[in-house]
Amino acid sequence: MAKPADDYYWPLTCAKLKYSLCYIIRIDRLGRAIKPVYASRYYKDVNAGININGLKTLVDFKFWPAGTMLDYSLPMPRKFFLKEELTHLDLQIDERKIVTYQIPSEEEICYKISLLSHFMYLKMGDMIILELHRPQSVKHGMHIQVIPHLDFYIKKHIGQ
């Protein structure tokens, strides 16, 4: 995770990056095989962030896609919000038109928590990240804002 105003430096190993606006749910109880009707009891804090993925690497890694494991690739505010406080998210890229994204419904969130809890044991502090749109291409110098919570630039790494 990165702080909300820290600029993101393009990793030397990545030829291509993509970003997506995310709704982040922080789990606050232990849970396994949770029924959807009870899933709302397992979180109260939420957040918004930008997930940055490296999809194409410049180096051939034989064992894992290293471009998908990027340091500080989830800029988000340090303060979490009550789920009632975030009703929508406004995203602005560079100086273009602000796009408003609706938060997933309580029913959809509970279904995802339930589904995930059947595959893994959810613990306090775990974060579930829900992408709100298809990943979009990142360009050097791009200015990304989630109004009013995040504001950062994508910058070239030293040596690029």
With a threshold of 0.75, does the pTM exceed it?
A: yes
The tally of domains found in the chain comes to: 1
Q: What is the pLDDT of residue 109?
A: 97
Q: Which domain holds residue 60?
A: 8-155
Q: Could you tell me if residue 49 is inside a domain? A: yes
pLDDT of 157 higher than 80: no
C-beta neighbour count of 107 within 10 angstroms: 11
Q: Could you tell me if residue 2 is inside a domain? A: no
Q: Could you tell me if residue 137 is inside a domain? A: yes
The mean-pLDDT minimum among 25-29, 51-55, 151-155 falls in 51-55
CATH, residue 45: 3.90.850.10
What are the pLDDT digits (tens) for 142-152?
Answer: 999 999 899 99
Using CB atoms within 10 A of its CB, is residue 39 exposed (0-12), middle (13-18) or buried (19+)?
buried
Q: Could you tell me if residue 102 is inside a domain? A: yes
Q: What is the pLDDT of residue 93?
A: 96
Q: Could you tell me if residue 3 is inside a domain? A: no
